[in-house]
Chains A and B, each alone.
Chain A
Amino acid sequence: MSRWGRVIAALAALIAAPLAAAESADSPPTQPIEFLLTGHFQLRIHGEKDPDAKIYVATGQATVLVLSDRLRRPVLLTAREKTAQALEPEALTPDPKDSDRLVVDPSRTLGQPLVAKVSGGRLSFVAAGKRVIIEPADPWLGDATAEEILARLPEQRRAARVYTPRLGQMRLLARNERQLRMLVFLGSWCPHCERLIPRLIRVLEDLGDKAPEATFHLVPRSIVDDLTARQYGVEGVPTVILFEGDEEIARLTGDELKRPELSLARVLFAD
């Protein structure tokens, strides 16, 4: 089971706990809850994926917020309540400075709470007569640009925002005149990529027109099934291959991308 499958399972286990525990649980949450947009899950309604749905996870709590035009109302899934609860739209306060962030007033409910069920790592409930499923997001496959990755993967977008490349190496890289290009292998499902690739993207963004031309290639969990990965002998992600013309001059993997500006500076400037 993938990491996010386990997260769903953990959430599900809490939701599926005995009813007796629910009866002895604290009263429903009344304090505002902070949510962040996530790309880890997707929504299906009547078996059909809703690509426009937005799913948020609470910071520090096993609580999920689902927004979909097809559900009409925001739905809050809480572990403590073990239910799916429709909310008044006014319960949501967007953060004007951060479009990924919402604050929710959980006391502004609409109607009776719905029973959430768990099956095969999926969380489901029935709302407005529709069967709704929250499940781990399908892997994103194929080529993408850095901008597309940041637009589609909120966790990567936020990680890129907070990374600060070291000025010394960035100044060095900005002096590079060699014509380089970069092929970046990553997985939308890969937690290491989620931590490290945004740093690389931030470095490339900050280098501007001095950055190597970069192509991002998203692979499935079973990397051997990816033709491009096989072609380049890539066995794990994240992997960055640096080319000068058609010649591969360096390959960076794993923690070498912890400080990508330093690793690139070493490739270009170490004796």
Chain B
Amino acid sequence: MGREETITLSLPSSLAYLDAVQGMAELLACTAGFDEEARLDVGLAVREGAINAIKHGNRLDPAKSVCIEFRLTAGVLKIAIRDEGAGFEPQLTPDPTTPENLWRSSGRGLLLIRSLVNEVHFRRHDPGMELILIKSRPADGQRDEEAS
């Protein structure tokens, strides 16, 4: 792929579309030349990001939507997942691995996402929150360095 291409999805705040979102992410990762494992990583990361946006961002409000933008260039896939919620401070997200938060579900998805892609960024909007995921195609022998 020589030039940047952008694909945008807009979906209602319903968990019913998660399989479609994951499938689309894996398909686009395939188009970007990622191997099978990396495609699965991308699909799961986008799925988790969409769950966060739908559940915690839009609070399942059917009047709000989630926008997912995929930007493909050679070897790099950038995904922006934007909700219309009140937003949050990423630094204040509770650490789900500490004993006091073992039973809280919020925040777990972000840890998983961080383990699946190379970079995770947040951008506040008014209203809404944007989660930006960057996945690079690893060079040979560098597969395990990417998910740190």
| A residues with CB within 8 A of B | 164, 166-169, 171-172, 175-178, 259, 262, 265-266, 268-271
Contacts and interface: CB of A to CB of B under 8 A. Distances in A.
A271 B48 contact: yes
Given A168-B115, A168-B148, A171-B148, A269 B102 contact: no
B147 A169 contact: yes
Contact of A168 (B97, B106, B109, B146): B146
A262 B112 CA distance: 9
B135 to A, nearest CB: 12
Nearest to B102: A178
B40 A262 contact: yes
A262 B116 CA distance: 9
Interface of B: 37, 40, 44, 48, 51-52, 55-56, 96-99, 102, 105-109, 111-112, 114-116, 143-148
B115 A259 contact: no
A45 B105 CA distance: 60
Given A164-B144, A166-B144, A265 B37 contact: no
B79 to A, nearest CB: 17
30 contacts: A164-B144, A166-B115, A166-B147, A167-B144, A167-B147, A167-B148, A168-B116, A168-B144, A168-B146, A168-B148, A172-B115, A175-B111, A177-B98, A178-B102, A262-B40, A262-B44, A265-B112, A266-B44, A268-B108, A269-B96, A269-B111, A269-B115, A270-B48, A270-B109, A270-B112, A271-B48, A271-B52, A271-B55, A271-B106, A271-B107
Contacts of B52: 271
A59 B114 CA distance: 41
A271 B144 contact: no
B112 A269 contact: yes
A179 to B, nearest CB: 10
Contacts of A270: 48, 51, 108-109, 112
Contact of A269 (B40, B51, B99, B109): B109
A168 B111 CA distance: 10
A269 B98 CA distance: 12
Contacts of B107: 271
Given A271-B48, A271-B55, A168 B108 contact: no
Contacts of A168: 114-116, 144, 146-148
Q: Which of the listed residues B48, B51, B108, B146 has the most CB atoms from chain A within 10 Å of its own CB?
A: B108
Q: Which of the listed residues B51, B97, B143, B148 has the most CB atoms from chain A within 10 Å of its own CB?
A: B97
